[in-house]
Structure 1
Amino acid sequence: MSVESRTIANLKGQLSKFSGIISKRFSKPKQRLIKEILYGIQASKDVKLSNIVRTLREDQLLI
Protein backbone atom coordinates (compact mmCIF):
# COMPACT_ATOMS: atom_id res chain seq x y z
CA MET A 1 0.00 0.00 0.00
CA SER A 2 1.49 3.33 -1.05
CA VAL A 3 1.71 6.38 1.15
CA GLU A 4 -0.96 8.08 -0.95
CA SER A 5 -3.34 5.13 -0.55
CA ARG A 6 -2.83 5.12 3.21
CA THR A 7 -3.44 8.86 3.37
CA ILE A 8 -6.68 8.51 1.40
CA ALA A 9 -7.83 5.60 3.57
CA ASN A 10 -7.01 7.57 6.72
CA LEU A 11 -8.88 10.62 5.45
CA LYS A 12 -11.94 8.57 4.49
CA GLY A 13 -11.90 6.96 7.94
CA GLN A 14 -11.79 10.34 9.67
CA LEU A 15 -14.58 11.70 7.45
CA SER A 16 -16.69 8.59 8.13
CA LYS A 17 -16.25 9.03 11.87
CA PHE A 18 -17.06 12.76 11.71
CA SER A 19 -20.08 12.27 9.45
CA GLY A 20 -21.32 9.51 11.77
CA ILE A 21 -21.20 11.93 14.68
CA ILE A 22 -23.09 14.73 12.92
CA SER A 23 -25.66 12.51 11.18
CA LYS A 24 -26.74 10.11 13.96
CA ARG A 25 -30.40 11.12 13.83
CA PHE A 26 -30.76 10.68 10.06
CA SER A 27 -31.69 7.59 8.07
CA LYS A 28 -28.92 5.41 6.55
CA PRO A 29 -29.31 6.84 3.02
CA LYS A 30 -29.05 10.39 4.37
CA GLN A 31 -26.01 9.42 6.46
CA ARG A 32 -24.34 8.05 3.32
CA LEU A 33 -25.19 11.24 1.40
CA ILE A 34 -23.67 13.39 4.14
CA LYS A 35 -20.50 11.27 4.15
CA GLU A 36 -20.13 11.44 0.37
CA ILE A 37 -20.84 15.18 0.25
CA LEU A 38 -18.20 15.83 2.93
CA TYR A 39 -15.66 13.74 1.04
CA GLY A 40 -16.56 15.47 -2.24
CA ILE A 41 -16.18 18.93 -0.72
CA GLN A 42 -12.78 18.00 0.66
CA ALA A 43 -11.61 16.32 -2.55
CA SER A 44 -12.84 19.03 -4.92
CA LYS A 45 -11.96 21.90 -2.57
CA ASP A 46 -15.27 23.42 -3.64
CA VAL A 47 -18.88 23.41 -2.44
CA LYS A 48 -20.52 23.52 -5.87
CA LEU A 49 -22.45 20.31 -6.47
CA SER A 50 -21.32 20.01 -10.09
CA ASN A 51 -17.66 20.10 -9.03
CA ILE A 52 -18.29 17.56 -6.26
CA VAL A 53 -19.94 15.19 -8.76
CA ARG A 54 -17.01 15.57 -11.17
CA THR A 55 -14.55 14.82 -8.37
CA LEU A 56 -16.48 11.74 -7.25
CA ARG A 57 -16.80 10.64 -10.90
CA GLU A 58 -20.54 10.04 -10.53
CA ASP A 59 -22.59 9.20 -13.60
CA GLN A 60 -24.97 12.14 -13.28
CA LEU A 61 -26.07 14.71 -15.80
CA LEU A 62 -24.60 18.10 -15.01
CA ILE A 63 -26.79 21.09 -15.69
Structure 2
Amino acid sequence: MTEFDTGLPSIRMIQNLIKEEKDVEIKLLSEDLIVGRVLWQDQHCLCLVDHYDQSTLVWRQCIAYLKPKA
Protein backbone atom coordinates (compact mmCIF):
# COMPACT_ATOMS: atom_id res chain seq x y z
CA MET A 1 0.00 0.00 0.00
CA THR A 2 1.29 3.46 -0.94
CA GLU A 3 1.81 5.89 1.92
CA PHE A 4 0.02 9.23 1.89
CA ASP A 5 2.78 11.83 1.46
CA THR A 6 1.55 15.07 3.05
CA GLY A 7 4.77 16.79 2.00
CA LEU A 8 3.75 16.88 -1.67
CA PRO A 9 2.57 20.29 -2.91
CA SER A 10 -0.54 18.81 -4.53
CA ILE A 11 -1.61 17.17 -1.26
CA ARG A 12 -0.97 20.38 0.69
CA MET A 13 -2.96 22.42 -1.84
CA ILE A 14 -5.97 20.14 -1.50
CA GLN A 15 -5.63 20.16 2.30
CA ASN A 16 -5.76 23.99 2.22
CA LEU A 17 -8.88 23.85 0.02
CA ILE A 18 -10.47 21.47 2.55
CA LYS A 19 -9.54 23.71 5.49
CA GLU A 20 -10.80 26.86 3.75
CA GLU A 21 -13.97 25.05 2.55
CA LYS A 22 -13.51 26.41 -0.99
CA ASP A 23 -15.50 25.15 -3.95
CA VAL A 24 -13.50 23.41 -6.66
CA GLU A 25 -14.05 22.25 -10.22
CA ILE A 26 -12.85 18.75 -11.02
CA LYS A 27 -12.59 17.79 -14.68
CA LEU A 28 -12.55 14.03 -15.16
CA LEU A 29 -10.82 12.12 -17.94
CA SER A 30 -14.34 11.18 -19.10
CA GLU A 31 -14.88 14.92 -19.84
CA ASP A 32 -17.40 15.24 -16.96
CA LEU A 33 -17.09 18.36 -14.82
CA ILE A 34 -18.09 18.19 -11.17
CA VAL A 35 -18.26 21.11 -8.76
CA GLY A 36 -18.31 21.13 -4.99
CA ARG A 37 -16.18 21.16 -1.90
CA VAL A 38 -13.52 18.58 -1.09
CA LEU A 39 -14.49 16.95 2.20
CA TRP A 40 -11.47 14.65 2.57
CA GLN A 41 -8.70 12.98 0.63
CA ASP A 42 -6.60 9.86 0.90
CA GLN A 43 -3.92 8.35 -1.33
CA HIS A 44 -6.52 6.95 -3.74
CA CYS A 45 -9.61 9.18 -3.65
CA LEU A 46 -11.20 12.54 -2.95
CA CYS A 47 -14.66 12.97 -1.49
CA LEU A 48 -16.51 15.88 -3.08
CA VAL A 49 -19.73 17.30 -1.59
CA ASP A 50 -21.99 19.27 -3.92
CA HIS A 51 -24.46 22.06 -3.15
CA TYR A 52 -27.16 19.45 -2.43
CA ASP A 53 -24.94 17.82 0.25
CA GLN A 54 -24.51 14.77 -1.95
CA SER A 55 -21.12 13.07 -1.64
CA THR A 56 -19.20 11.78 -4.64
CA LEU A 57 -16.13 9.59 -4.35
CA VAL A 58 -13.61 10.50 -7.07
CA TRP A 59 -10.65 8.26 -7.82
CA ARG A 60 -7.47 10.32 -8.28
CA GLN A 61 -6.55 8.35 -11.41
CA CYS A 62 -9.73 9.67 -13.10
CA ILE A 63 -8.94 13.37 -12.55
CA ALA A 64 -7.73 15.45 -15.50
CA TYR A 65 -7.49 18.59 -13.37
CA LEU A 66 -8.75 20.22 -10.17
CA LYS A 67 -8.95 23.97 -9.68
CA PRO A 68 -10.44 26.34 -7.11
CA LYS A 69 -13.66 27.89 -8.34
CA ALA A 70 -13.40 31.64 -8.89
TM-score normalized with structure 1 length:
0.26
Hey, which of these two has a bigger chunk of strand by percent?
2
TM-score normalized with structure 2 length:
0.25
Q: Which has the larger radius of gyration?
A: 1
Q: Larger RCO: Structure 1 or Structure 2 (Cα < 8 Å, ≥ 6 residues apart)? A: 2
